[in-house]
Structure 1
């Protein structure tokens, strides 16, 4: 990769080029900058309720993860095959993966679990594009806390990734408990979560029931390079 006059590069591939742009994107303090299907996106500072949910989940996970794992709220996870660089609300990653790298992101496949909490700005990406990217990276578990789900606020645990598709392992309505399997082996009580003002009216999706269904990305595949 050749940098020309400090503001342009001649890159060997699309990933190097878009990652270079991402690193140099200047955004207001507190905003989150990601790459979604080759497009640099900026999302505003999350709401107080959003931050509270993330904190509650993080505290619960810290009780059960190994001592040499960490939980990060601003960690970039790279999926070059999809021209994706995601910054999830929470990412559980072995600390060793951060110590051996001197970069601003880590390969997404190093994560053991990612958590996304939807907002009006991020909901579609969280449900579709990032779900497909996390699956393609091989992240074992993806927890989606979706207070804006069309059928009512829900929490869904995805797992068993195959290609860019996850299987739905468990789903429950917002406010009910949901269990995570080993290596976490924890039940998160979402009844402690603040109720968002803009949440849809909950529907009965069952409490922590295993659902044999799949989600698939509708996003176009990244161009072959």
Structure 2
């Protein structure tokens, strides 16, 4: 009962954090299940064999999109319009848009990609990918970086106290943590939240793949 209440509160917190983000968790999870299935650990091991963390322990994804017949300026206008529609809210934003340089940089957000509830603490994992578009005539290079996992941690003992008569003596609190990818499974084999880290990696891949497909469709 207490676990269910905790997960519900974490879930609601994730929903309230977003106004109208580019992609929501349900869309990404549906794509991931259709593409890979639900065996998160096995899928994470498979993807991890191809992934390489950079010097900052971040994951970088790249894709080049060819668009025949469209100039640099036309592609910039199309992309800038798309980003303005989908990234201009409290949780995702355009960081830079330089028409002369042909560069658009944005920051996305996807909350609640994975959960963990066990022991004394519970976690809700979120990602905030960085998106860069380098534009030239008839071509757009996409670079998407997942720098880390942003985690909302809740002390389970505190949440248990909420259900007791001495609630006033144990007010609820959350702690925001940043998990470096190199200490998470599958990059680190000894990970106490292996199941959660597995799904977080798979969902990160799903977010990037769906976002790249949407940008390509926009062009």
How does the TM-score come out when normalised to structure 1?
0.27
Structure with bigger RCO (C-alpha 8 Å, 6+ apart): 2
How does the TM-score come out when normalised to structure 2?
0.28
Rg comparison, structure with higher value: 2
The structure in which a higher percent of residues are helix is 2
